[in-house]
Amino acid sequence: MSDTIRLVVDGEEVEVPTGSTLLAATARAGADVPTLCHDPRLDPMGSCRMCLVEVEGQRRLQPACAYPAMEGQVVHTSTDRVERHRQVLLSMYCADHTLDADGLPAERALGNQLRAHVEAFGTGPTLPPIGTPRAGREDPNPYIHFDPDSCIACARCVRYCDEVEAVSAITLAMRGSSTTIATADQVGLLDSSCELCGGCIDTCPTGAMSEKRALGLLGADEETVRSTCNFCGVGCQLDLHVRDGEVVRVSSPPPGTTVNDGNLCVKGRFATEFINHPDRLTVPLIRGDDGELHEATWDEAIRVTAAGLMGVKERYGADALGFVSSSRCTGEENYLVQKLSRAAFGTNNCHQCAAT
């Protein structure tokens, strides 16, 4: 078997590795095939029907995300038939989704792909709302909110929880238009096998899974700053979402772009409450003769610190000083602490908690 296969997408010949899907081939050709249930980290499911394309020789439209690319295939991604299919499909989704005043799928959280597709491709005939009630659940967990009326039952969250995080805390439940996302016995996530990674929020295409603390806030109104997580040594890249000078939520850069491949853990995604916490130290403190800590200016604090450390050096020599640097601080700060220790005081007694 050859390593690559060639096929024609919208009149352009492309070469892709053997075993690729049509979605990969159409992407290679630069064709923008819309998807909803697709996530590159997950096995193809082919359930949302958004990515159907025309394959010559096939009577029916085929899902690009799940259909194998084959040698010599001729594929069309935007024929009248494909466009008509997309509009009818989007009409059906709209009939079963929370709409805003303009009749568009409501904008939520970090974006709603369904809304973007409706804006891009339009809808067909307006269908009567389905309105079947879907079961939600009271869930006291502090982070993850689920809105059943914005869910399109694509199961990305369920598959992520099973295939990537592998804890299988959530599942599809019920049938037909009642299909919803549930836990076993509808217990709260804190009582399930959920590890609060928030991958369900990240993968959800419509914002039905969203972050409680940022509920109602739209990503479009936030400034994002790319940074590196400050917990373990994996080096996950984070997008810090800033609103009115506060970090209101954290998201991962898209899959395939950084070392964490779109994933984050409970600490990286959610444990940011410390940043704005009222317990933060905000002013230098000096211990007085009374044994208590007293607020001081930076000038005083630096002067007292310098005098204290220099005093030890004068009385006992530089090697009576120890400098504990920090593997939590930046590389530049560690460089400067060892320079402080070596150049300003003359001792190599400088270390941090490096055991691995």
Partner 1 sequence: MTNSIPEIRDTELMFVIGSNTTEAHPIIAMEMKRAVRNGSKLIVADPRKIWLAEIADLHLQLRPGTDVALLTAMAHVIIAEGLVDEAFVANHTVDFEDVKAAVAETTPEWAETITGCPAEDIRTAARWYATTDKAGVYYTLGITEHSHGTDNVYSLANLVAMTGHLGKRSAGLNPLRGQNNVQGANDAGASPVFYPGYQRVQDPVARKRFEEAWGVPLSPHDGLNLNVMMKALNKGDIKGLYVMGEDIVISEPNCSALEVGLNDAEFVVVQDIFMNETCRFADVILPAACFAEKDGVFTNSDRRVQRVRKAVEAPGEARPDWEIICDLARACGYPMPHYSGPAEVYAEMAALTDKFSGISHERIEAEGGLQWPCPTLDHPGTPTLHQGAPLIGKVEFQGVAYRPSEELPDEEYPLVLSTGRTLYHYNAATQTRRASGPMAKQPVNFVEMHRKDARRRGLNDGEVVTVRSRRGAIEATVAVSPRMRRGCVWMPLHFPESNTNRLTNDAGDPVTATAEYKVCAVQIDGIAR
Residue list 274-293, contact with partner 1 (CB under 8 A): 274-277, 279-287, 293
267, 143, 259, 134: which is closest to 201 by C-alpha? 143
Can you tell me which of 120, 130, 135, 302 binds partner 1, judged by CB under 8 A?
A: 302
168 lies in the site for partner 1, by CB under 8 A: no
DSSP code at position 166: -
261 lies in the site for partner 1, by CB under 8 A: yes
DSSP code at position 14: E
Which residues, listed in sequence order, are joined to residue 351 by a DSSP beta bridge?
Answer: 324
* d(C-alpha 204, C-alpha 159), whole Å: 11
Q: Are 96 and 130 in contact (CB under 8 A)?
A: yes
Can you tell me which of 236, 251, 254, 290 binds partner 1, judged by CB under 8 A?
A: 236
Please provide the size of the chain in residues. Answer: 356
- How many Cβ atoms sit within 10 Å of the Cβ of residue 44? 18
157 lies in the site for partner 1, by CB under 8 A: no
Cα R_g (the chain), whole angstroms: 27
| The one segment of 57-65, 94-102, 179-187, 270-278 that binds partner 1 by CB under 8 A | 270-278
Question: C-alpha 175: how far from its chain's center?
Answer: 29
5 to 44: interface string for partner 1, x by CB under 8 A: ----------------------------------------
91 lies in the site for partner 1, by CB under 8 A: no
218 lies in the site for partner 1, by CB under 8 A: no
254 lies in the site for partner 1, by CB under 8 A: no
* d(C-alpha 291, C-alpha 297), whole Å: 18
354 lies in the site for partner 1, by CB under 8 A: yes
Q: Are 54 and 61 in contact (CB under 8 A)?
A: yes
Can you tell me which of 87, 141, 178, 186 binds partner 1, judged by CB under 8 A?
A: 141
347 lies in the site for partner 1, by CB under 8 A: yes
328 lies in the site for partner 1, by CB under 8 A: yes
245 lies in the site for partner 1, by CB under 8 A: yes
